[in-house]
Amino acid sequence: MIKSYKARRIISNTLIYIILAVMCIIWVSPFAYLLLHSFRGEGYVTVNYLIPHEFTFDNYIKLFMGAGGDASINFPRWFLNTLVVAIFSCIISTISVLAVSYTLSRLRFGARKKLMNVGMILGMFPGFMTMIAMYYLLDAMHLTRTLVALVICYSCGAGLGFQISKGFFDTIPRALDEAATIDGANKNQIFWKIILPMSKPIVVYTVLTSFIGPWCDFILAKIIMGDDRANYTVAIGLQAMTTPEFIQAYYKQYLAGSVCVAVPITILFLKMQKYYVEGVTAGGVKG
Amino acid sequence: MTFVEYKMLNPFQRFAYNFKKFFKNIPSAIGRFFKACGRGIKKFIFGIGKGFKNYGTTFVKGDWATKLSYLIFGVGDLHKGKTYKGILFFLVEVLYALYMIFFGWGWFKDFFTLGTRKTYVTYDEMGFPVNHPGDESMKILLYSTLTIVITAIVFVVYIANIKDAYRHQVMKQNGQKPTTLKQDAQEFLDGKYHITLLSFPVLMIGIFNILPLIFMILIAFTNYSKEHFTLFNWVGLQNFGQLFDVINSNKKATTFIGIAGWTLLWAVVATFSNYILGMVVALMINKKGIKLKSLWRTLFVITIAVPQFVSLLLMNQMLQENGAVNILLGQLFNGGQSMGIKFLTDNVWTARITVMVVNCWVGIPYTILSMSGILMNIPEDLYESARIDGASPVKTFTAITLPYMIFVTTPQLITQFVGNINNFNVIFLLSGGGPTTTEYFGAGKTDILVTWLYNLSMGNEQDYGLASAIGILVFIICATLSLIVYNNSKSMKDEEAFS
Amino acid sequence: MKKVLAILLAGMMTATAFAGCGGSGNASSSGSSNSSGGSSAKASGGKVDEAMFGDETNISLKVWAPDKGVSLAKEQIETFKKMYPNIKFKNIEVVAQGENDAATQLVNDPNKAADVFSFPSDQLNKLDAAKCLSPVSKAFVEDISAVNAEGTVKAATLKDSKTKEEVLYAYPETNDNGYYLVYDKKVVSDDTAKTLEGILKACKDAKKEFVMDCGNGFYSCTFAFTGGAVIDGFEDDGETQKFKEYDENEAVDTLMAFAKLMKEYKGTWKSQDPAQIASGFKNGTLGAGVDGSWNSVADKEALGDNFGATKLPTINVNGKDKQLISMFGYKYLGVNAKTKFPRTAHILAYYLSSEECQQQRAEKIGWGPSNTKVQETDFVKNDVTLQAIAAQSKNAVAQVNIQGTFWQAMGTLGNEMMKDGWKPDDKAATKKLLQTTIADVRDEG
């Protein structure tokens, strides 16, 4: 009996290993393809075989050093822009999210439930039309074609994404606050000295999600930056490389650029994965 | 069904029962929702009435300074010795007056016509054209909206100023002194800490989310489109009319209904396929005895980390007629000859299924991550006692793991459902809405409402009014759905379960 | 209220002063519009009297050129500055801006856009609807009409909505925004390249592909045009697309002939993005394709000596060979209506569209000229692609006055015919498809 149980377990585990291995191959192979072809030496846009015949670093070298001659393709600059925007918008976003979610979770005041409902649904408006309005508001502040505008755009709505971190704060026992209040702490001190130090997972989760945003948006950023290529982000730049004007000459560089964007974020993500899981779990359960 | 009967069911029957109950409850939940909305509106109207009454009585009871506060902000506070607040109130009035004089009124006066002067060109004596710019309806509408919002805020401040003046008057009559700046500051770090924390995020949301939103909602009632680009007009409900004009088989109505149907189907399938498959994979990874857990998870997580415009455009390239997938399939099954399957451009259902499958590729890792966390969080003693009772692994799974996960993740499911209704990236970057069809106006067979909205506003059609109307409808669907579910969900009801 | 009025008045006065800064003081109305230019100013060959600058000084302008043309534009602007030594230029910068979304960028925010910009002809209506274009100075109209190809000038001439007179809206820049046949001479001989049937057969025999993008309205409108369903500007409402009168039977027969070839040569005729064509030549999988002028460098590079280019082939409809009719566009230089230096902007645009500049562009970056003299130069005559473009332009419909609804509808037409399930002999279905397409283009849903 025991033996057959063990045998069954071995069989089922083997089966699971096989399934997982196959799935992982499916999941990873597109990126493997991307990586391989970013080193491709021959051809223009596509080739009719899977593995490149010539491998070269040229695509990467041209991407970073060439700066494209006449074409104002300036990947290093774009990369730097995106990094700056990502850092600042993630700082502001994190502050907003934490402030809103802490307030809605731990503080009690009249309009709390209403604010929560409004906050939840506001983010559901599909907002392409709002981009025009945003552009002219930023223009009235003389901010268009600047990185500041992008930071504002990416962090302005952050407060609306409070659900997950509110869920997280909900799980912290209320007795802690009460004990601190008895000891004479005010709410400000409770927030900074007691709750925040316990919230590493959710802080990391918020930082991570808001850091990734600027690397992905190519619609709003394009509207704001217009013709000012020096202030492009990588997403607009890479997207531009696939337009008819550039695709013949730049497709392989586009692949290389995609790798350059994907690798750092992936590494960051993998490093922070533990916290991400903790944050999303604790928050998701309740949020 | 009694509690005992319920307890006797096996987990799957319980799940089915709960599932049925959930859907059975939907009509009553919707009923409750609209009732609540009705109550809210009633309360609001009564509130306004009460406000007017208070406004009057306060004026009658107020002393001269309070009365003067009705005209000049902050006089009451200044008179009662609350200097800093009085100055702040007064500053608001001054700034508002300056804003209206130098900016606001100039735009707002055209709000009802949205501008009438046309742009035209004349020529100077050397033949050079001279441009005479006319009104721009878009700017008029935007800055009028801004003016309305600012006026509303100033009105709130105005009422607060009166209330504060009266409050201080009463305090003075009772022989109390107004609080000092320092005391107030202390209060903002404690009793009113929510105001301190919320002010910055709310300000940002107000300017860059709510204001554009109001603007967009207003656009839905205009004929802003490429034919009326500089000067447009109010047209009432015409845009909504077009969308529901089924009787005349208006092409826009046909498109709307077709796309709305597909959007719902897409959202349901995309949500549940991700959920179920993600759960299965998470269970496999977290099964006892499976090694390299973090490696498996890591490999899946790469899809989350790579920006979607990279991964989805890559997928699009690979699924082309001469793309990598066809080459690979050809090498495996067709003797090296490319298969030439048109995944995304030919057959409607081939394309729809392809999009759904790729969406699994994108979405499953998210489920795996959140599920893994939850699985690790299931209290170990539950399993312990099950093992002591001699339960088989299958039994443990159906009796403990499954119910726990379903209970815990229902709210997430709703968020994902709404997210999928608005899942712009997957459709736009992957299929671009194709395959095209002659049945629809400005949309293809895999287009969902948001991508159609994008085509209408940013693409060739440039029918902003119609696009906004669609946006409003999508919003109503999503908002109603999620408000109902959230306010009826367990997590909302026992919000303080853990505290 | 008084204050508001005062501010408004002040604003209006500045506006008037600004409008009159051309030196005339009063912006004379349409009275002078019929005479081409004032008596003192005569312009030819891109050069004008310095007096024409009026009192514009400390001039700073922004010019948009596509990436390929930036450095040449910079050189040309240096020359331009030297031509007028007494005028004070502060800065004329050239900024790279793809032509494909020039209009979008300009319409989004005219105040931050370029003063002089390059754009393709199909964006003319969009720019006009948004009132972003300053029409060509009356002083230059005569000269421009005289030296440029008639079609180019006609395509940029629209009716003014107010005065109902014909107005030239932009300065012709090129005559090459179209597509033509490119082929691998090893697979398709110069002679077979004359008929579509021949090309497809040659490709199939050599196990190569033929690429023509049927899902993109820019290319697939050929199917409708060849059958006679040709667009002809707008109806009187200025919005609805007008079609020339055509024989529906013939149009349907032509569509069926195309669909038949697609079916017969399934696996050979591929509907793909033209960006793939150069790759296909390089990989050796492609025999011929319908490609645009902007890809010609890569195509030439991929095929080397075997590169062939010519006008589109003919197709056999009911025993008669019919020439394929294509969409053909031009590129223009436009002047932003909101420019702060209207005179300089116009003079610069005039110079950049001149014979001298067009010649340089043809030689240095391979752009097909619209100037008739440059069209006759040896350089242009000996260039295979430029000649192919020029030949096709005689069998083409000008890409102007096209509604936004056109592209998707025409793309759908091509896609439907390309679908595996489409039956080429089904006359009723083809007729319905044509009717739906036309109705969609005309937005008569």
Reported confidence tier of residue B161, pLDDT bands at 50, 70, 90: very high
Q: How far is CA C304 from CA B42, C193, C282, in A?
A: 79, 18, 10
Region C49-75: mean pLDDT is 90
Structural domain boundaries in chain B? 1-52, 53-243, 247-493
What does the pLDDT read at residue C347?
A: 94
- When scoring C283, C293, C297 by the number of chain A Cβ atoms within 10 A, the one with the most, hence best to mutate, is C283
Q: Which amino acid is at C79?
A: T
- Judge whether residue B410 has pLDDT over 80: no
**Considering chain B, what is the average pLDDT of its residues?**
86
- Judge whether residue A17 has pLDDT over 80: yes
3-state helix, strand, coil in chain C (%, to 5): 50, 20, 30
Q: What domains does chain C contain, in order, with CATH numbers? A: 52-175+329-385 (3.40.190.10), 177-328+397-441 (3.40.190.10)
Please indicate whether, in this complex, the C-beta atoms of A45 and C279 are within 8 angstroms of each other.
yes
Residues, chain B: 499
Q: Which residues of B touch C28 (CB under 8 A)?
A: 122-125
- The Cα A99–Cα A102 span in angstroms is 5
Helix ranges restricted to H, B178-319: 181-189, 193-205, 211-219, 238-244, 251-286, 293-305, 308-318
| A205, A276 Cβ separation under 8 angstroms | yes
- The Cα B128–Cα C347 span in angstroms is 10
CB atoms within 10 A of CB B205: 24
- In sequence order, what are the beta bridge partners of C323? C314
What does the pLDDT read at residue C357?
A: 94
Please indicate whether, in this complex, the C-beta atoms of C137 and B230 are within 8 angstroms of each other.
no
For β-strands C231-234 and C320-323, DSSP reports them as unpaired
Q: Which residues of A touch B213 (CB under 8 A)?
A: 122, 125, 127, 130
Please indicate whether, in this complex, the C-beta atoms of C279 and A240 are within 8 angstroms of each other.
no
Q: What percent of chain A has pLDDT over 70?
A: 95
Distance, in angstroms, between A205 CA and closest chain B CA?
12
DSSP B460: S
Region C219-238: mean pLDDT is 89
Q: How far is CA B476 from CA B25, B26, B377, B456, B483, in A?
A: 20, 17, 36, 19, 10
Report cis status (omega within 30 of 0) of the bond before B435.
Answer: yes
Region C252-264: mean pLDDT is 94
Please indicate whether, in this complex, the C-beta atoms of B125 and C38 are within 8 angstroms of each other.
yes
Please indicate whether, in this complex, the C-beta atoms of B458 and A48 are within 8 angstroms of each other.
no
Closest by Cα among B418, B433, B391, B432 to B475: B418
Q: Which residues of C touch A149 (CB under 8 A)?
A: none
- Judge whether residue C29 has pLDDT over 60: no
- The Cα A59–Cα A154 span in angstroms is 31
Q: Is B215 on the interface with A (CB under 8 A)?
A: yes
What does the pLDDT read at residue B495?
A: 54
Nearest CB to C96; choose among A45, A72, A243: A72
Strand runs (DSSP E) across C85-244, as ranges?
A: 89-96, 116-120, 157-159, 166-168, 171-184, 209-211, 231-234, 241-243
What does the pLDDT read at residue C161?
A: 67
Q: How far is CA A26 from CA B148, B315, B370, in A?
A: 54, 12, 21
Q: What percent of chain C has pLDDT over 90?
A: 52
CB atoms within 10 A of CB B396: 16
Please indicate whether, in this complex, the C-beta atoms of B216 and A127 are within 8 angstroms of each other.
yes
Nearest CB to B305; choose among A96, A219, A269: A269
What does the pLDDT read at residue C180?
A: 93
Strand runs (DSSP E) across C104-246, as ranges?
A: 116-120, 157-159, 166-168, 171-184, 209-211, 231-234, 241-243
Tokens 């752009």 — which residue?
C367
| C66, C94 Cβ separation under 8 angstroms | no
Q: Which residues of B touch A49 (CB under 8 A)?
A: 327
CATH 3.30.70.2190 fits A60-286, yes or no: no
Q: Which residues of A touch B284 (CB under 8 A)?
A: 16, 19-20
Q: Which residues of A touch B142 (CB under 8 A)?
A: 133, 136-137
Q: Which residues of C touch A251 (CB under 8 A)?
A: 275
What does the pLDDT read at residue B368?
A: 87
What does the pLDDT read at residue C287?
A: 92
- Judge whether residue B490 has pLDDT over 60: no
What does the pLDDT read at residue C1?
A: 42
Write out pLDDT tens, residues C311-338.
999 999 999 999 999 999 899 999 999 9
Distance, in angstroms, between C275 CA and closest chain A CA?
7
Greater model confidence, C161 or B204:
B204
| B470, B449 Cβ separation under 8 angstroms | yes
What does the pLDDT read at residue A106?
A: 86
For the ranges A56-65, B289-298, C23-32, C149-158, which has the lowest average pLDDT? Answer: C23-32
**Considering chain C, what is the average pLDDT of its residues?**
86
Q: Which residues contact B245 (CB under 8 A, 6 or more apart)?
A: B252, B253
Write out pLDDT tens, residues A162-174.
888 888 888 888 8
Closest by Cα among A157, A155, A158, A148 to A81: A148
Please indicate whether, in this complex, the C-beta atoms of A45 and C114 are within 8 angstroms of each other.
no
- For residue A114, the chain B residue with the least C-alpha distance is B40
- The Cα C23–Cα B320 span in angstroms is 60
Tokens of C203: 């490709």
- When scoring A4, A24, A128, A218 by the number of chain B Cβ atoms within 10 A, the one with the most, hence best to mutate, is A128
Residues, chain A: 287
Helix ranges restricted to H, C234-383: 248-264, 275-283, 296-303, 342-352, 355-365, 372-375, 378-382
- Judge whether residue B13 has pLDDT over 90: no
Please indicate whether, in this complex, the C-beta atoms of B125 and C28 are within 8 angstroms of each other.
yes
Q: Which residues of B touch A239 (CB under 8 A)?
A: 309
Q: Is A44 on the interface with C (CB under 8 A)?
A: yes
Region B378-393: mean pLDDT is 78
Structural domain boundaries in chain A? 2-57, 60-286
Region B103-131: mean pLDDT is 90
- Range 32-51 of A in CB contact (< 8 A) with B: 33-34, 46, 48-50
Closest by Cα among B480, C405, B138, B433 to A130: B138
Distance, in angstroms, between A52 CA and closest chain B CA?
12
Nearest CB to B102; choose among C7, C137, C270: C7
Q: What percent of chain B has pLDDT over 90?
A: 34
- The Cα A165–Cα A142 span in angstroms is 34
Reported confidence tier of residue C292, pLDDT bands at 50, 70, 90: confident
- When scoring C95, C97, C108, C177 by the number of chain A Cβ atoms within 10 A, the one with the most, hence best to mutate, is C108
Q: How far is CA C432 from CA B339, C147, C251, C429, C438, in A?
A: 31, 45, 12, 5, 10
Write out pLDDT tens, residues B315-365.
998 998 888 898 889 888 877 777 778 888 888 999 999 999 999 999 999
- For residue A49, the chain B residue with the least C-alpha distance is B327
Tokens of A242: 């696939």
Write out pLDDT tens, residues C369-420.
999 999 999 988 888 888 998 899 889 998 888 888 888 899 999 999 998 8
Please indicate whether, in this complex, the C-beta atoms of A156 and B361 are within 8 angstroms of each other.
no
Q: Which residues of B touch C272 (CB under 8 A)?
A: 320-322
Q: Which residues of A touch C216 (CB under 8 A)?
A: none
- When scoring A1, A130, A204 by the number of chain B Cβ atoms within 10 A, the one with the most, hence best to mutate, is A130
Q: Is C295 on the interface with A (CB under 8 A)?
A: yes
- Judge whether residue C163 has pLDDT over 90: no
- When scoring C419, C432, C433, C444 by the number of chain B Cβ atoms within 10 A, the one with the most, hence best to mutate, is C419
- The Cα C348–Cα C136 span in angstroms is 12
Identify the chains in contact with C, defined as 3+ C-beta pairs within 8 A.
A, B
Distance, in angstroms, between B480 CA and closest chain C CA?
31
Q: What's the start-to-end Cα distance of chain B, in Å? A: 32
Q: Which amino acid is at C139?
A: A
Nearest CB to C112; choose among A42, A226, A245: A226
| B73, B92 Cβ separation under 8 angstroms | yes
Distance, in angstroms, between A94 CA and closest chain B CA?
11
- The Cα C132–Cα C108 span in angstroms is 10
Please indicate whether, in this complex, the C-beta atoms of B212 and A133 are within 8 angstroms of each other.
yes
- The Cα B122–Cα C312 span in angstroms is 44
Q: Residues A66-71: contacts with CB within 8 Å, 24+ apart?
A: A68/A250, A68/C67, A70/C67, A70/C68, A70/C70, A70/C71, A70/C96, A71/A246, A71/C67, A71/C68, A71/C70, A71/C96
For the ranges A272-281, C61-70, C178-187, which has the lowest average pLDDT? Answer: A272-281
Region B470-482: mean pLDDT is 88
Q: Which residues contact A90 (CB under 8 A, 6 or more apart)?
A: A155, A207, A210, A211
Write out pLDDT tens, residues A227-270.
888 899 999 999 888 888 888 888 999 999 999 999 988 888 88
H-helix or E-strand spanning residue C60: strand C59-65
Q: Which residues of C touch B122 (CB under 8 A)?
A: 27-30, 33
For the ranges A128-137, A275-284, B259-268, C290-299, which has the lowest average pLDDT? Answer: A275-284
- Judge whether residue B366 has pLDDT over 50: yes
Please indicate whether, in this complex, the C-beta atoms of B229 and C130 are within 8 angstroms of each other.
yes
Q: Which of the listed CATH numbers 1.10.10.350, 1.10.3720.10, 3.30.70.260, 1.20.1050.10 matches domain B247-493?
A: 1.10.3720.10
Q: Which residues of B touch A171 (CB under 8 A)?
A: 498
- Judge whether residue B135 has pLDDT over 80: yes
Distance, in angstroms, between A11 CA and closest chain B CA?
12
H-helix or E-strand spanning residue A248: helix A244-286
Reported confidence tier of residue C120, pLDDT bands at 50, 70, 90: very high
Write out pLDDT tens, residues C244-253.
999 999 999 9
Please indicate whether, in this complex, the C-beta atoms of C239 and B227 are within 8 angstroms of each other.
yes
Q: Is A26 on the interface with B (CB under 8 A)?
A: yes
For C119, phi then psi, to 5°, come to -150, 150
Greater model confidence, B393 or C289:
C289
